[in-house]
Amino acid sequence: MQLQKTLAQRISCEGIGLHRGEPVRLTIFPAPANSGIRFIRADLPGRPMIRASYSQVVDTALATTLGVPGATISTVEHLLAALAGLGIDNARVEVWGPELPILDGSAAPFVRLLRRAGVRTLRAPRTYCVIHQALEVVEGDKAIRVEPAREPCLSYAIDFPHPLIGRQQLSFRMRSEKFCREIAPARTFGFLKDVQALQAQGLALGGSLDNALVLTNADLLNPEGLRFTDEFVRHKILDFIGDLALWGWPLHGHVLVTKGSHALHHRFLEVLSQQPQAWRLSTPGWPSGTPAEPGLSTPARLKLALA
């Protein structure tokens, strides 16, 4: 039986928010089994709670933003990817600010932070979402398809008309050490003209060469260069892992993404929720045919997860 995990102890960090450019403080606490990942806006009256769920996504324009009436939390994907990459199912994230700190633009600082806190195994089984029927979302030349597979796999392809990017594609099988070494360090990227336009609108105010790869029409401004020759597609995989964590259960299937975005990632999760015949929930170690939560059918468990 594979068991759920949480942190061994609380851990904190501070940094600058990418879009507002303001200091942000966060503390990540251990959490009990079956509680999932929950964000607390500790700086607001009543300390509103926002669940890490695709049903609470309110914006995908520049990052993934979650929200409830009166409170939002933005740029959650890098921390969620780090939690997923380390197999952490449950955590309470208290944030003093409207967005998570961007740190170096990758998930590596969050991985180091979580490893410092340590991981604790809980006495509760982990439930997986197993794909048994192919499903596809297509929007023009962009697409996400998921197929049954013997083990989880993610294949991602991007295509940008830039001499340092062009067409890049990579397949990745989730393993904690492999994620930490090959995906987590990949930084977010943007084009100088777009960054300048955003900053003129009062956005991306915290963006700099310290936390993003910035491209001109023909070159890279960052003096240290790339961490990987295909760092761009690796970061897109990182973003997808973080967005996929909003589904609530680890996905067992082969996902193929072409020219994805936060918006398309979110649309894929919406379609997945509307097609329950394409998947089933499985808890390894439970007797075959036993629901992951006794007495609940798949639709009932989905409804409970969205509540």
Assigned domain for 190 exists:
yes
Number of structural domains in the chain? 2
pLDDT tens readout for residues 53-101: 999 999 999 899 999 999 999 999 999 999 999 999 999 999 999 999 9
User: Which position has the higher pLDDT, 296 or 46?
Assistant: 46
Q: Taking the CA atoms of the chain, what radius of gyration do you get in angstroms?
A: 19
For position 287, what pLDDT does the model report? 55
CATH number assigned to the domain comprising residue 45: 3.30.230.20
Q: Which of 125, 159, 183 is the last residue of a domain?
A: 125
Assigned domain for 298 exists:
no
pLDDT greater than 50 at residue 303: no
Considering the domain architecture, whether residues 156 and 70 belong to the same structural domain is answered as: no
Q: Cα separation of 114 and 104, whole Å?
A: 16
Considering the domain architecture, whether residues 138 and 190 belong to the same structural domain is answered as: yes
Considering the domain architecture, whether residues 115 and 179 belong to the same structural domain is answered as: no
3-class DSSP assignment, residue 190? strand
For position 293, what pLDDT does the model report? 40
pLDDT tens readout for residues 211-263: 999 999 999 999 999 999 999 999 999 999 999 999 999 999 999 999 999 99
Nearest to 5 by CA among 84, 110, 99: 84
pLDDT greater than 90 at residue 295: no
Q: Cα separation of 281 and 32, whole Å?
A: 21
Considering the domain architecture, whether residues 144 and 281 belong to the same structural domain is answered as: yes
pLDDT tens readout for residues 132-186: 999 999 999 999 999 999 999 999 999 999 999 999 999 999 899 999 999 999 9
Q: 105-109, 190-194, 208-212, 290-294: which has the minimum mean pLDDT?
A: 290-294
For tokens 């049954």, the residue is: 148
Assigned domain for 89 exists:
yes
DSSP per-residue letters across 144-157:
EEEE--SS-EEEEE
Q: Which of 105, 125, 145 is the last residue of a domain?
A: 125
Q: Cα separation of 129 and 283, whole Å?
A: 9
Nearest to 270 by CA among 21, 55, 4, 38: 55
For position 286, what pLDDT does the model report? 65
pTM above 0.85, yes or no: yes
Q: Do the beta carbons of residue 17 and residue 10 sit within 8 Å?
A: no
Cα 247–chain centre separation: 10
CATH number assigned to the domain comprising residue 147: 3.30.1700.10
For tokens 């609940």, the residue is: 296
Question: Residue 53: which domain range?
Answer: 3-125
Longest C-alpha distance within the chain, in Å?
59
Considering the domain architecture, whether residues 111 and 204 belong to the same structural domain is answered as: no
Catalytic residues: 262
pLDDT confidence tier of residue 16, bands split at 50, 70 and 90: very high
Please say whether the dihedral angle defined by the alpha carbons of residues 276, 86, 151 and 76, taken in this order, is positive or negative: positive
β 142-147/251-252 pair status: unpaired
Assigned domain for 236 exists:
yes
Coarse DSSP helix, strand, coil percentages of the chain, rounded to the nearest 5 percent: 25, 35, 40
Element (H, E) at 81: helix 77-85
pLDDT greater than 70 at residue 34: yes
Considering the domain architecture, whether residues 203 and 228 belong to the same structural domain is answered as: yes
Considering the domain architecture, whether residues 99 and 232 belong to the same structural domain is answered as: no
Considering the domain architecture, whether residues 70 and 120 belong to the same structural domain is answered as: yes
For position 203, what pLDDT does the model report? 80
